[in-house]
Amino acid sequence: MKDYKVDKASLSDEFRREVYQVVCEIPSGKVSTYGSIAALLGMPQCSRMVGRALKLVPDDVSVPCHRVVNASGRPVPGWEEQKRLLLEEGVSFKQNGCVDLKKHLWSYSVPE
């Protein structure tokens, strides 16, 4: 269901910085989903915007984008390097080509 209260045009630099900050917290060997990141940022209806932000990471910014998959655990279509990077970190895949989210889904915990 689309939420028309969110001004998606205003989700610019600040939103992207918040996305990058969250993605940088995902540890090696774990993954998160676009929807989980959007929900963590308080905008659960903006998972596509998370994907767009990750697609637009500047060259001078280091963000482990390969650790973000869709809700089913499917890697980005056509980005073959993503699977290789995840395998190098010990992430396992199911027979259907999706990340085994039961083993590798990262759960954000609030620092004490």
Q: What span, in angstroms and rounded, lies between the C-alpha atoms of 64 and 61?
A: 10
- Euclidean distance between the first and the last CA atom of the chain, given in angstroms as a whole number: 34
Q: Which two tokens stand for residue 37?
A: 């990141």
Pick from 99, 66, 103, 101: which is nearest to 81 by CA? 66
Quick check: 89 and 81 in contact, CB under 8 A?
A: no
**pLDDT tens-digit series, residues 58-111:** 889 899 999 999 999 999 999 999 999 999 999 999 999 999 999 999 988 755
Q: What span, in angstroms and rounded, lies between the C-alpha atoms of 99 and 66?
A: 12
CATH of region 11-59+67-103, choose from 1.10.3720.10, 1.20.58.1290, 1.10.10.10, 3.40.50.300: 1.10.10.10
Place of tokens 């689309």: 2
What single letter denotes the amino acid at residue 57?
V
pTM: 0.86
Residues with active-site annotation:
65
**What residue segments make up the domains of the chain, in order of their start?**
11-59+67-103
The pLDDT of residue 108 is 80
